[in-house]
Structure 1
Amino acid sequence: LAYNATFGEHHIDATLLYGASERKYDYTKALGQGFTRMTLGYNSLEQATTRYVYSDAWREALCYQMARVSYRLMDRYLITGTVRRDGFSGFAANNKYATFPSIALGWIISEESFFKIPWIDYLKLRGGYGISGNQTSRYKSLSTVASEIRYIFGDGGKPVIGQEVSALGNNNLKWEKTAGINLGLDFTILGQRLTGSVEYYSTTTKDLLYDVALPDITGFSKIASNLGKIKNKGFEFILTSKNIQTSDFKWTTSLNFSTNSNKIVTLTGEDNDGDGIEDDNISSNLFIGQPISAVYGYVVDGIYQLGDDIPAGFHPGNYRIVDMTGEGEITPEDRVILGKGDPAYRFGIMNTLEYKNFTLSFFINSVQGGKDGYLAANSSSLVRDQNNLRWNRISAWDYWSPRNPDAVYARSISTPKITPTVYEDRSFVRLQDVSLSYAFPKSVTNKVGLSEIDLFFSGKNLLTFTKWHGWDPEAGSTYSGRPVMRSFSFGVSLTY
């Protein structure tokens, strides 16, 4: 339901929304094998010597309401307020609904009579605060039961279906909520030659939906929970520049830059070791004061060589683990925070050049990890044992040998006491898209009865600059994965 009205210099838009949805799924399969006469098998599955029946079903429902009011005064002062209420069947009985309010303010400064800066064409300041939610998947708050063939009683007995609890329920599971504030500035300057925006945001997420790892002795590997609090902040910058504008030649550049960081503020609040500091959840890879993508493991400093002073349990060709505790022995206590999986910043640059009927465009994409960021596992290793007497791998894998001591990957005649995971920085700069086209002039197209004829040539993923050892740093693909496909295309576009 929508309403809008203008009263002089006042304008109001109001919206009311109600929605509900239900999703249901039912599945049944009957299967027979071993028929004496196949002509009767299709409609007489009971004649099969072996018969199977499979079935499955699920159901989920959502319900939501929203009210929004926008007010504009003199086309320069803007305010929008929204309240939304959402419900989902997947949450616990007493926590199925949650309310999410937000407010946004805007001020078009360039419309003010006192604003007299000739080189600024447009300037808008905006800000907002709001709460958003994240829902769980269906049945997460309930204990679930799995049914499989479990028993056979006696010789020649028929199999019997057994049931067991496969997942623990959580009667307190509720909506994950994120409260955030953002401030932004939109601008157009220098006779509309530069257009862009700058934005800063900061959010706090609490009651995170997370599958917390459980000790194996409980009989379960994890439980769906609401966990802790995370702070997140970032900066975004977008700029479009008309560098050159003449009758024959035009050059336009678009730039985007963004950075984001997050930090775990609290988890469960428990201090079981009594040191006065909240405990980390090492089994779930969650650490207080660290990003949610923190990388935790052993520090690796190369590969053991022939003639090195090698500790017990390790051999030439194994990864060399740093003794961080200084106790003279490699133990799980030597693990530390190595960095994070998130990047430090991203940027992209698109250039478009037009000369008469020719157009050339190219896009550069980059993700940078900064210090100890954008890490991914890349620690292939080989051990020559009785089950692996031959080594036959593609040459891209730079494995250690006495003749190749400066190799990237470990290779040894014996398995080490501890096999660490080695992480590498995935930072890259990629020439991602290049396109060249030519538009035939009207004098040509009119003669053949067409309105437009365009020839084009394009290439994708042409060059990648990175120190990552593998096919694709952006996907974290090693040499055992798949490369980014470099492609070229040529075509003709005809418009009648």
Structure 2
Amino acid sequence: MKQKLSGILTLLLALVVQISFAQESRQVTGTVTDGDGLPLPGVNILVKGTQRGTQTDFDGNYNILVSPSDILVFSYVGFETIERPVGTSTRIDATLTPDASELEEVVVMGYVTRGKNELTGSSVQVSGEQIAEVPVVSADQALQGRVAGLQISTSSGTPGAVQDVRIRGISSLSASNEPLYVIDGVPVINSNIAGSNSSSSLSPLASINSQDIESMTVLKDASATAAYGARGTNGVIVITTKRGRSGEVRFDFNSSIGIQNDAYNKRRVLTGPERLELTKEALVNAYGADYGFTMENALQLGVDFRVLPAAILDYDGSVYDWDNLIKNEDALLQNYTFAASGGTELGSFYASVGYNKTEATVIGADFERINGSLSVERQFRDNVDFSTSLNVSHSTQNPILERGTFFSNPFITRYLMNPLNNPFNEDGTPTTDLTFGSLHNTLYVTANDINVNALTRLISNSKVDWELIDNVTFSNRFSMDFQLNDYKSYLNRYEGSAAPVNGWSERSTEQNFNFVYQGSLGYKFQLGTDHNFDVMGLFEYQKNQNNYLYGYGENFPADGLTNLENASANLDAFSSYADWYNVSYLALLNYNFARKYVLDATFRREGSSRFAEGNRFGNFGSVGAAWNLHMEDFLIDSAFSSLRLRASYGITGNSGIGLNEYQALLSYSADYDDNGGATPSQFGNPDLTWEKGEAFDVGVSFGLFEDRLSGSFSYYNRRTYDLLQAVPLSLTTGFDEQSRNVGEMVNKGIEAELSYMVVDTGDFSWLVSANYATVDNEVTELALGSDGNPINPNSSSSYKTTEVGLPVGAWYMRTWAGVDPQTGEPTWYVNGVDGEVTSSYSAAQRVYQGASALPTYSGGFSTRVTYKGFFADANLYFAGGHKIYEQYAQFYMNVNSFTLGSYNGVSELLERWQQPGDITDVPKLNYANGRSFQSTSSRHLFEGDYVRLRNVAVGYSLPTQYADAIGVDGLTISLRGTNVATWVKEDGLKLDPEVQAIGYTSLTTPPVESYTLGVNLKF
């Protein structure tokens, strides 16, 4: 009876409370948006202190029953939680602002993502916004100056060309030094795919629209890269493409259009009259005393003695500006991207189409790309998620002959074309009968030859995540990367290399297929309240196949015929097939205690078909630790918003050598009386195995005053051993070299990053940041020869040496001592250092010139200012501590007939020695003299230090309230300049200082200076 009475009283009390609540309660509605004014679906809304709540719908709307005294709590992943009292309101709209600390913590590592406080390795993540704003064809160029320890050099300014990228220097003598590229968690191939055209390059990375990139992460030390085993030894660049997010469909249109020219070129060539005057002087100095040459009769006597062509007497003094004729002034660049994204609580999508057209700064070369991407994520069940992405592009590059001394190379024309040549016929068309020299008329060749590199690329990436039980996920990823290159070249019948054979044509097709499967099992769990574990086991299988087909033919019967079927002579064909496999077993462990103390361990067993069966597998791994001091009680109330110590150690490998180098091979390309035959082609080495790298890294990162001031400092030491080298063999073996594992080198240095928000008042902000890195490279062991001495891999080079105790490829040559002011003769130091000089080139000693081609320091500086929608930013890049050799100076700075008779010289020759007492760096002209002045010496070796203003921009972003008024979500207009200024340390360096890693200036398209107008519209 008592129990029944108690139950009745409880029911009556609940009814009273309900009635009371109903009398005071009411419906409150509203919409929740993000900082850009866009609706946020799925936001959790709770009545503080109760379990009552709701979520926003697809359009960010909600409806909830509350009482006046209630407080609503709005929370959403990645955004700051806010509270709103109900009071008398019937509608409460809320705007959630992104939680900067949370957003910055997630770092994409490729296989996994880690919170910033969970990392023990060295990595830097660059946002997609920073990448997209730089108007470059290949996205890796946008990283220059933004990542400490990352050195990017433009090997060619031709749009789409491969770039030289080094992370923490060079670690191998003959194996690859390129980083590994990972796109959406899958390793891809990024080698030059320019078909049979060895004079240019085409980067597969140029096929990806930078507007479709969400972020790029540079992994540098063993803890960060060990998960990739041997392929990560030179660092890893992880590219994450954009995905959709829940919400109504959003559209994004980006466009940029601009112009570009050469960024830096201070070389001026001689005009016709200048060169003629120097030719006279050179003839008088050579023959005057014996044959009566004077400045007045030098040309006539030169013709009489058959030293000069007779046509030189007909030259009328006209100036033909070949330099400007080969330029494409104000080359047009344009890029357009239209994207859409959206989704529901069950899935999302991102789709885009893009078009890029970029002209080169030299005639005859441009780049065009059309691309499309689609990414879909879908929740099949509560425990099954599916995602797939597809990126398709077709790129067309019109390359030029620029990676060598080709007579049709436009840059050979710029510097070496005899300036007495008239480029045109009387009717204004380019002539095919140049009077002087042997160079081709590039104007005619460019207009009548065909050179096309077409790359079609398809990347497909699909993943299924199946949560077997709570926090245990079984993932399967399938990725295919298909690259199809079609190269065609036709050289005309009248001018150029093919004129003697009445025109020739070549065609090649290269197909590269890369397949990757990854299967992983991940488990996240917690023991007690403080022990947090994240473990993963992964199996990876990678297969790469390459097919190549080439055809060639000569003698075309008529103009307009350019295909191989029209050729009638010397038809030839070639084909090849190559494949390789990688199989890997990976274990990852990440543990933290109360988020304060972090332990990270990686083990990878990797097998490669590049080695013999008994040596195919290598074991690699790393261990790292971090201490989040800012979470300790004694620092919680301090000025430190973050303070972390970290250290890591690991072993990585390198298998970046040619296929089948371990095998003894026969070549079946012999032809004996039209019968095939075999010849030995490779000695082989079944003991060949992985090149290995042992890396140690320690660092500290910090944030002060809520990260208003933040930065990091690290020290690294990487020892590479079992170097893959080509070791000379006794010729009695029938071979001259064999690949072996022998030798060792060390790279060590420091890296520092600093960022400071100088002013932040809401309406006005000013942010500055900088990074700086050093790398000290030293060879510590080399293979020994039969005499017991180390073998110099650069022993045949007249420019470089590689010796124990020196950097790889150290500059090694005679030392220039200047021009003798009394005689005008060139001189060099006898001992290679100082003191006694000699005019006999062979009597001077070669010595180490104190540097190599590798920069020993590099870095960047950035600043950004904003004020009520207006913004201005700039960043610069610098590098130095290395030297650069101007290799082509031997052609255009000779003081004899080679330059002043056959080709052309540069304006420095006007400063030549003429009489005793002259102080100059250019010797006496002598038409008949030898070329020792131009032989390899420090005369043309320059300090490579330079600073480049990489980007500068001003713009305006329309505030949200004004954007809403015109019916759009956002509008930004910007004007941006790229490579707008360059400073070099040494005035004698007249060509662009941003050169390939080998350290030579070259006659190729230099980096470009561009100015673009960009418009971004969101709706």
| Same-fold status (TM-score > 0.5) | yes
Q: Is the 8 A contact 1:214 1:222 kept in 2?
A: yes
Q: Does 1:118 align with 2:638?
A: yes
Residue 626 of structure 2 aligns with an amino acid whose one-letter code is G
Measure the CA separation in 2 of the matches of 1:108 and 1:287.
Answer: 43
Give the secondary structure class of the aligned counterpart of 2:615.
coil
Q: Does 1:406 align with 2:920?
A: yes
Measure the CA separation in 2 of the matches of 1:307 and 1:495.
Answer: 72
**Aligned 1:51-130 pairs, distance under 5 A:** 54-115=574-635, 118-130=638-650
142-151 or 296-305: which moved more? 142-151
Q: Is the 8 A contact 1:5 1:12 kept in 2?
A: yes
Q: Is the 8 A contact 1:399 1:407 kept in 2?
A: no
User: Which residue matches 2:990?
Assistant: 470
User: Which residue matches 2:873?
Assistant: 361
Give the secondary structure class of the aligned counterpart of 1:247.
coil
Distance 1:144 1:300, change over 3 A: farther
- Deviation, 1:14, is 1.2
Q: Is the 8 A contact 1:271 1:278 kept in 2?
A: no
Q: Is the 8 A contact 2:978 2:1009 kept in 1?
A: yes
- Give the structure with higher Rg (CA): 2
Measure the CA separation in 2 of the matches of 1:389 and 1:327.
Answer: 27
Measure the CA separation in 2 of the matches of 1:233 and 1:458.
Answer: 36
Distance 1:63 1:396, change over 3 A: farther
Deviation per residue, 1:457-493 (Å, 9 max, x gap): 1111111010252331021564733332111111332
Measure the CA separation in 1 of the matches of 2:894 and 2:552.
Answer: 45
Q: Is the 8 A contact 1:107 1:125 kept in 2?
A: yes
Give the secondary structure class of the aligned counterpart of 1:471.
coil
- Deviation, 1:455, is 1.9
User: Which residue matches 1:323?
Assistant: 830
- Deviation, 1:113, is 2.0
Distance 1:64 1:358, change over 3 A: same
Q: Is the 8 A contact 2:774 2:857 kept in 1?
A: yes
Match of 2:1015 among 475, 488, 492: 492
User: Which residue matches 1:156?
Assistant: none
Give the secondary structure class of the aligned counterpart of 1:110.
helix
- Deviation, 1:291, is 1.1
Q: Is the 8 A contact 2:794 2:809 kept in 1?
A: no
Match of 1:435 among 949, 953, 961: 953
Q: Is the 8 A contact 2:913 2:925 kept in 1?
A: no
Measure the CA separation in 2 of the matches of 1:202 and 1:49.
Answer: 58
Q: Does 1:228 align with 2:743?
A: yes
Q: Is the 8 A contact 1:88 1:96 kept in 2?
A: yes
- Deviation, 1:256, is 0.7
Residue 827 of structure 2 aligns with an amino acid whose one-letter code is R
Q: Does 1:302 align with 2:818?
A: yes
Measure the CA separation in 2 of the matches of 1:205 and 1:410.
Answer: 49
Q: Is the 8 A contact 1:400 1:411 kept in 2?
A: no
User: Which residue matches 2:328?
Assistant: none
Measure the CA separation in 1 of the matches of 2:1017 and 2:726.
Answer: 54
Measure the CA separation in 2 of the matches of 1:412 and 1:20.
Answer: 65
- Deviation, 1:199, is 0.8
- Deviation, 1:265, is 1.2
- Deviation, 1:240, is 1.3
The higher relative CO (CA closer than 8 Å, separation ≥ 6) is in 2
Distance 1:250 1:221, change over 3 A: farther
Match of 1:211 among 701, 726, 730: 726
Distance 1:214 1:249, change over 3 A: farther
Residue 10 of structure 1 aligns with an amino acid whose one-letter code is H
Measure the CA separation in 1 of the matches of 2:1016 and 2:635.
Answer: 48
Q: Is the 8 A contact 1:397 1:479 kept in 2?
A: no
Give the secondary structure class of the aligned counterpart of 2:743.
strand
Q: Is the 8 A contact 1:321 1:420 kept in 2?
A: no
Distance 1:217 1:359, change over 3 A: farther
Deviation per residue, 1:341-369 (Å, 9 max, x gap): 22221120010001222100011111121
Q: Does 1:138 align with 2:669?
A: no
Match of 1:342 among 849, 854, 861: 854
Q: Is the 8 A contact 2:913 2:920 kept in 1?
A: no
189-198 or 219-228: which moved more? 219-228
Distance 1:410 1:236, change over 3 A: farther
Measure the CA separation in 1 of the matches of 2:764 and 2:978.
Answer: 25
Give the secondary structure class of the aligned counterpart of 1:446.
helix
- Deviation, 1:377, is 4.2
Measure the CA separation in 2 of the matches of 1:98 and 1:354.
Answer: 52
Measure the CA separation in 2 of the matches of 1:238 and 1:367.
Answer: 16
Residue 2 of structure 1 aligns with an amino acid whose one-letter code is G
Q: Which runs of 5+ in 2 are unaligned?
A: 1-520, 556-562
Measure the CA separation in 1 of the matches of 2:721 and 2:778.
Answer: 12
User: Which residue matches 1:288?
Assistant: 804
Q: Is the 8 A contact 1:252 1:351 kept in 2?
A: yes
Q: Does 1:456 align with 2:967?
A: no
- Deviation, 1:440, is 2.9
Q: Does 1:173 align with 2:684?
A: no
Measure the CA separation in 2 of the matches of 1:387 and 1:344.
Answer: 37
Q: Is the 8 A contact 1:270 1:279 kept in 2?
A: yes
Residue 335 of structure 1 aligns with an amino acid whose one-letter code is R
Residue 648 of structure 2 aligns with an amino acid whose one-letter code is G
Q: Is the 8 A contact 1:271 1:279 kept in 2?
A: no
Q: Is the 8 A contact 1:470 1:477 kept in 2?
A: no
Deviation per residue, 1:88-116 (Å, 9 max, x gap): 11113332111112111111112122336
Q: Does 1:3 align with 2:560?
A: no
211-220 or 236-245: which moved more? 211-220
Distance 1:218 1:297, change over 3 A: farther
- Deviation, 1:26, is 4.5
Measure the CA separation in 2 of the matches of 1:76 and 1:262.
Answer: 35
Distance 1:377 1:70, change over 3 A: same
Deviation per residue, 1:215-248 (Å, 9 max, x gap): 8897655432222111211111111111101132
Distance 1:160 1:470, change over 3 A: farther
Distance 1:225 1:438, change over 3 A: same
**Aligned 1:161-200 pairs, distance under 5 A:** 161-200=676-715
Give the secondary structure class of the aligned counterpart of 1:198.
strand
- Give aligned pairs, total: 465
Match of 1:483 among 996, 1006, 1009: 1006
- Deviation, 1:51, is 7.3
Normalising to structure 2: TM-score of the pair? 0.42
Measure the CA separation in 2 of the matches of 1:409 and 1:430.
Answer: 33
User: Which residue matches 2:781?
Assistant: 266
- Deviation, 1:260, is 0.8
* Aligned-CA RMSD value: 3.4
Structure number with higher strand proportion: 1
Give the secondary structure class of the aligned counterpart of 1:486.
strand
- Deviation, 1:451, is 2.3
- Percent of aligned positions with the same letter in both sequences? 24
Distance 1:469 1:219, change over 3 A: farther
